[in-house]
Amino acid sequence: MLVQLRRTLSRSLSSVVYRVALAMKPQVIFVLGGPGAGKGTQCAKIVETYGYTHLSAGDLLRAERTRVGSEFGQLIDTHIKDGKIVPVAITINLLKKAMEETMLLDREKFRFLIDGFPRNNDNLQGWSSVMEDKANVKFVLFFDCSDQVCIDRCLERGKSSGRTDDNRESLEKRIQTYLQSTRPIIEQYQQQGKVRTVDASRGVDEVFADVKDLLEKEG
């Protein structure tokens, strides 16, 4: 009886210790895919259903671009129009700050979807040197669809998004950047067994059904 009680107590104590340890270290899912693959759309649905915080590197850069007093506005603006990847020193700072602020406001909010990052080798290096020991990357959620689907979706979005890069000229460059710089990063994670691929060419709800299955399997 006493032995059993001790065992139960020890089990629940180690479960508490485990959860506290996890709560202290941010748990991250990197969300990647071509421009317009539906990363933002699916992340919003994940946030609705599960307790994740969505941080889009592109959104953070767009906000920094227009922030009064930012010394990077011009640089970010030209990089975005040209579909180029902004130097990681800028992006990692924005991501780190957003993660810290989120956890400071609510320490239960330690699960993050980091959308559109790491997009190239520079991004990956920046993450490794600044965040490697501060956060745990669970896996890469990869929204896979053809370049043509990506282009069509971005052009459609461009009718109302007001984005300076949802036009044919920028899109050609963004697709090139994706193929040349981002795909090799996804490939690297693939070799480590850390990529979970979803066929993103289907409708929003069908894609999300797969995302849900996957997240529930991963726990």
Which parts of this chain interact with ligand ADP (CB under 6 A)? Answer: 33, 35-41, 153, 156-157, 203-204, 207
Nearer to Mg ion, 40 or 126 (CB): 40
69 labeled part of a ligand binding site: no
Work out the angle at residue 92's Cα, subtended by the Cα atoms of residues 89 and 94, and round it to the nearest 5 degrees: 105
Cβ atoms of residues 181 and 121 within 8 Å = yes
Binding status of residue 79 toward ligand C5P by CB under 6 A: yes
Nearer to ligand ADP, 40 or 83 (CB): 40
157 labeled part of a ligand binding site: yes
User: What are the beta bridge partners of residue 113?
Assistant: 29, 54
Which partner in Mg ion, ligand C5P, ligand ADP, none is near 185 (CB below 5 to 8 A by kind)? none
The span from the CA of 88 to the CA of 7, in Å, is 48
Binding letters toward ligand C5P, positions 99-118, x by CB under 6 A: -----------------xx-
25 labeled part of a ligand binding site: no
The span from the CA of 83 to the CA of 181, in Å, is 11
Those residues with Cβ within 8 angstroms of residue 177's Cβ, 6 or more apart along the chain or in another chain: 83, 84, 85, 119, 120
Question: Which of 26, 33, 34, 83 is the binder for ligand C5P (CB under 6 A)?
Answer: 83
Q: How far is the CB of 116 from Mg ion (least distance, A)?
A: 6
Binding status of residue 40 toward Mg ion by CB under 5 A: yes
The span from the CA of 88 to the CA of 92, in Å, is 6
Question: Contacts with ligand C5P in 135-164 (CB under 6 A)?
Answer: none
The span from the CA of 133 to the CA of 113, in Å, is 18
Task: Determine whether 208 is exposed, middle or buried from the number of CB atoms within 10 Å of its CB (0-12, 13-18, 19+).
Answer: buried
The span from the CA of 187 to the CA of 219, in Å, is 24
Q: How far is the CB of 28 from ligand ADP (least distance, A)?
A: 17
Nearer to ligand C5P, 45 or 174 (CB): 174
Helix or strand or coil: residue 68? Answer: coil
208 labeled part of a ligand binding site: no
Question: Which of 80, 99, 195, 207 is the binder for ligand C5P (CB under 6 A)?
Answer: 80
Binding letters toward ligand C5P, positions 52-71, x by CB under 6 A: ----xxx--x----------
Task: Determine whether 24 is exposed, middle or buried from the number of CB atoms within 10 Å of its CB (0-12, 13-18, 19+).
Answer: exposed
Q: Which residues bind ligand C5P (CB under 6 A)?
A: 35, 56-58, 61, 79-80, 83-86, 91, 116-117, 119, 123, 165, 174
Report the interface residues with Mg ion, using CB under 5 A: 40
